[in-house]
Chains A and B, each alone.
Chain A
């Protein structure tokens, strides 16, 4: 076994730190998914496309000469409107149907979005240069791009803002009430239609922030959305709905797993490793629950 990572153990530190910073991003996307899943009972396959779309907004700013780091402010605002429009056009018609309908409908949206982004920005892999430089740690053995640290910080700050907003604001309380019992909330005067639209918009805005971070730290490509959806789905089923610390921890765990599998299996198997891990986790949980004659709900 001549893996590079065992010959140079410092790479383990590198992989773990990269993984944690990547995992914070995943956790933010997954939190958005958990939010809409919990509130509206919808699984959004187009989640990854929303992320990539948010990234392209930052990239567009970069092309027009604005520093792409401002994308983390602009992109959520635009994405909120996109999410709101998506809800009004399609999602509000599938909210009360069964989950598979929403999966298929959002799959249609994801194909549509991929293709439109392909028309708008071309099928090349792009990156928005942030020119933030890099930080060297441990005698220059570990390189850490400042852009990654920046994106990690942005994600943490926006998650904190969101949590406070959900706790304190009127809309936040309405959202939490609807998640607990939509019917009761309706009786008590909550306009659930508005709450749903806002939830979808907030989810899209979170994706927009994450996407802008991805644009400056990683690469963008119109067809790479689905892995982000699967990652966030995976994080949500491990962590459960509405459990933010667990979402953060499992997001970071997933990031570390990915970076390690990069070194151990090779980059070409990275996506395969993510998708196989999802299958393994689901099957493991199924067997664990089957002992109690239960199943994943």
Chain B
């Protein structure tokens, strides 16, 4: 057994047993898995492809709304549900809840994927900061629009169906969500690890390094960019659907299309861990979650000030991230051969 197998086995065992080892932190851990999914999928664009997006939050919000409104609308009238506003006059039975949940989560993956495909053709033609600002505007516009649509609760938001009574114990709801988020994070990781090892990953890196050259080599860059965005949208959408259930409540600008919080968190997590690496977003998300919980516990009231300072510090002083720093320190472990003479020549050139 080599080191990597041990590492993977350890992480999987931690994930599977986590719900029992830390029963009090189950929700925190599910939250962490969602954050990992967000960071890893952001890295497909931001790190591997070089397209810094603020717009992945769009799919997060759409997934959240789609998942719970499907679950409600399959059995009740959606308008009446949002009118009732939290008073549980409608109760899902056990099979209804799980049917609705399954279909809802599935649609939460599929619909954002389709949307990403459709708008991707227009938006992925933009480059650099135009792309960044355009996606920023997209996320905020979506939040403001959702805040004006009556049937999904407008600005007040809507409640998510509650766990059916009489099924399992009190803890089973959070256990269920814990395992679903863990599986989602695992599947995302495995998919991306596989994708980065194929031609697809190479093309993404080629687009990041020089898109014009990649095009000149005969690669249909637009096709790959759209597929990359669709992959991100699929996982982010499902993560959004799960997040709606973890929160128990959906609100357009603060929770679903939360550009200034989640939309920036995913960028920060990837940069903190080291963008453009497989493990970076995962490490970054874990560290960031610890930071964030620390801020929210010890600087309550000042948490956003601390967050703003953290953003500036990370971006200005730590742009390479943890993995970038490790890579510089231990290049052999990353499979890089260090040529002393070459290094000296580079230093002299500088």
Q: Are A279 and B140 in contact (CB under 8 A)?
A: no
A109–B271 CA distance with the chains assembled, in angstroms: 17
A283 adjacent to chain B (CB < 8 Å): yes
Residues 93-144 (chain B) with a chain A CB within 8 angstroms: 122-123, 125-130, 132-134, 136-138, 140-141, 144
Binary interface encoding of chain A residues 90-114 relative to chain B, with 1 for a CB under 8 A from any of its CBs, else 0: 1001100101110111011111111
Segment at the interface with A among B62-70, B305-313, B322-330: B305-313
Q: Are A279 and B125 in contact (CB under 8 A)?
A: no
Q: Closest residue to B55 on the A side, CB-wise?
A: A279
Contact of A275 (CB < 8 Å), options: B125, B141, B311, B312: B141
Q: How far is the CB of B244 from chain A (nearest CB, A)?
A: 22
Q: Closest residue to B309 on the A side, CB-wise?
A: A112
Q: Are B147 and A103 in contact (CB under 8 A)?
A: no
Q: Closest residue to B215 on the A side, CB-wise?
A: A293
B260 adjacent to chain A (CB < 8 Å): yes
Q: Are B308 and A279 in contact (CB under 8 A)?
A: no
Residues 239-283 (chain A) with a chain B CB within 8 angstroms: 266, 268-269, 271-272, 275-276, 278-279, 282-283
Contact of A296 (CB < 8 Å), options: B126, B148, B264, B308: B126
Known contacts A111-B307, A275-B140, A90 near B316 by CB under 8 Å = yes
Contact of B137 (CB < 8 Å), options: A111, A275, A295: A275
B73 adjacent to chain A (CB < 8 Å): no
A15–B282 CA distance with the chains assembled, in angstroms: 51
Q: How far is the CB of A238 from chain B (nearest CB, A)?
A: 12
A286 adjacent to chain B (CB < 8 Å): yes
Q: Are B311 and A114 in contact (CB under 8 A)?
A: no
Q: Are B145 and A105 in contact (CB under 8 A)?
A: no
B52 adjacent to chain A (CB < 8 Å): yes
B319 adjacent to chain A (CB < 8 Å): yes
The interface residues of chain B, by DSSP majority, are classed as: helix
Known contacts A105-B311, A272-B145, A275-B137, A100 near B52 by CB under 8 Å = yes
The interface residues of chain A, by DSSP majority, are classed as: helix
Contact of B148 (CB < 8 Å), options: A112, A114, A269, A282: A269
Residues of A within 8 A of B307 (CB): 108, 111
Q: Are A233 and B133 in contact (CB under 8 A)?
A: yes
Residues of B within 8 A of A134 (CB): none
A230–B134 CA distance with the chains assembled, in angstroms: 9
Q: Are A237 and B316 in contact (CB under 8 A)?
A: no
A146–B248 CA distance with the chains assembled, in angstroms: 49
Residues 27-77 (chain A) with a chain B CB within 8 angstroms: 43
Interface residues on B, range: 35 or more
Binary interface encoding of chain A residues 161-177 relative to chain B, with 1 for a CB under 8 A from any of its CBs, else 0: 00000000000000000
Q: How far is the CB of A187 from chain B (nearest CB, A)?
A: 21
Q: Are A272 and B315 in contact (CB under 8 A)?
A: no
Q: How far is the CB of B300 from chain A (nearest CB, A)?
A: 13
Known contacts A104-B315, A287-B122, A266 near B148 by CB under 8 Å = yes
| Most central of B137, B144, B311 by chain A CB within 10 Å | B137
| Most central of A108, A115, A237 by chain B CB within 10 Å | A108
A219–B155 CA distance with the chains assembled, in angstroms: 20
Q: Are A108 and B122 in contact (CB under 8 A)?
A: no
Q: Closest residue to B146 on the A side, CB-wise?
A: A272
Q: How far is the CB of B284 from chain A (nearest CB, A)?
A: 14
Q: How far is the CB of A274 from chain B (nearest CB, A)?
A: 8
Q: Are B137 and A278 in contact (CB under 8 A)?
A: yes
Residues of B within 8 A of A275 (CB): 137-138, 140-141, 144
Residues on B facing A (Cβ under 8 Å): 52, 122-123, 125-130, 132-134, 136-138, 140-141, 144-145, 147-148, 155, 260, 264, 267-268, 271, 302, 304-305, 307-312, 315-317, 319
| Additional pairs, 13, CB under 8 Å, beyond known A111-B307, A272-B145 | A104-B311, A105-B316, A109-B308, A112-B309, A113-B308, A226-B260, A230-B140, A269-B145, A271-B141, A275-B140, A278-B134, A279-B134, A286-B122
